[in-house]
Amino acid sequence: MSSKLENPNSLLPDLERLPRHVAIIMDGNGRWAKKKLLNRVKGHEQGADTVRMIVRATRELGIPFLTLYAFSTENWQRPKTEVMALMALLKRFLVREKDEMLENGIRLSVIGQTERLPDDVQDAMRKTMEATAHGRRMTLTLALSYGGREELVRAVRAMGNRIAEGTLDPEMVDEAVISQHLYTAAMPDPDLMIRTSGEMRISNFLLWQLAYAEMAFTPTLWPDFTKEDYLNILRDFGNRERRFGKTGDQLDPG
Ligand code: FPP
């Protein structure tokens, strides 16, 4: 019997029915700051605290993959001062969290056009990735200068090159081969995608990988997003029936 049935009032999600991979669009930092008459950068700083809390909670729950949309290919168009502040925050996060990641068996991975990041951010990223490479409890993936369409263009180009040089037979291209050419080749697709701040869009995030993900949208702005909000979404996920195109009876014929 599931713990949910034993204790219907429990706030905790059913640990048997947690997602394996949670992906999050962390939205609303700017609006949070505006509401408080603060500079947008303050919103990102507060958002970085939410990141730390969510990483910790995900690891404690035993969810093995967490992917965070930290900077999109479109975000380069923001005012230069905001881009620079975000890069500084990312670098600080990569440097300061390294030890905690190591202690907790968290492996850092990064997806996106990392070559576009400033050298010092690339450097911090590389060092933390190398140091945490043996982490086995959880993979934390930061999407940095990431865009889903760019990722697909890159994958098609790589497959085209392999076909041209004769190392890939076009007849062998199937869903698995496409997945292997994406930044996310080494991880399972997300089971759950969360977006904060009330927007109900995917915004070029993991376009291929989210094909069967459950979606959870909350009006809460990212800096205000709490552990309780997270646990509520995870509990709700455990109560959903994921059918993958089949009927409910096919999944549970008794
Ligand atoms: C969206 O809010 C958020 C971002 C573009 C950046 C996300 C960055 C962080 C949460 C902080 C740093 C990250 C790490 C990993 C330490 P927005 O600015 O689009 O908000 P708005 O839509 O209200 O303007």
Provide the pLDDT for residue 253.
66
Lookup result for tokens 């290919």: 73
Decide: pTM greater than 0.95: no
Q: What is the pLDDT of residues 56-107, one digit of tens each?
A: 999 999 999 999 999 999 999 999 999 999 999 999 999 999 999 999 999 9
Answer whether 141's CB lies under 8 Å from 70's CB.
no
Give the rounded distance of the alpha carbon of 61 from its chain centre: 16
- Among 24, 25, 29, residue to substitute to test ligand 1 (most atoms within 8 Å of Cβ): 29
174 is catalytic: no
DSSP 157: H
Q: What is the pLDDT of residues 13-32, one digit of tens each?
A: 888 899 999 999 999 999 99
Q: Looking at ligand 1, which residue's alpha carbon is closest to its atom 24? A: 30
4 has a pLDDT exceeding 60: no
DSSP 30-79: HHHHHHTT--HHHHHHHHHHHHHHHHHHHHHHT--EEEEEEEEGGGGGS-
**Of 39, 75, 204, 232, which one is the catalytic site residue?**
75
**Does the pLDDT at position 8 exceed 80?**
no
pLDDT of residue 1: 40
For each of the domains in the chain, give its residue range(s) and CATH number, in order of start: 18-146+192-240 (3.40.1180.10)
Look at residues 163, 149, 92, 145 and name the one whose alpha carbon lies nearest to residue 121: 92
Task: Decide if pLDDT at 9 tops 70.
Answer: no
To the query of whether residue 236 is one of the catalytic residues in this protein, the response is no
Share of the chain above pLDDT 90, in %: 88
The DSSP 8-state label assigned to residue 139 in this structure reads E
- Residue 222 Cα: closest atom of ligand 1: 10
Residues 6+ apart with CB under 8 A from 140: 55, 66, 67, 68, 101, 106, 107, 108, 109
* pLDDT above 60 for 3: no
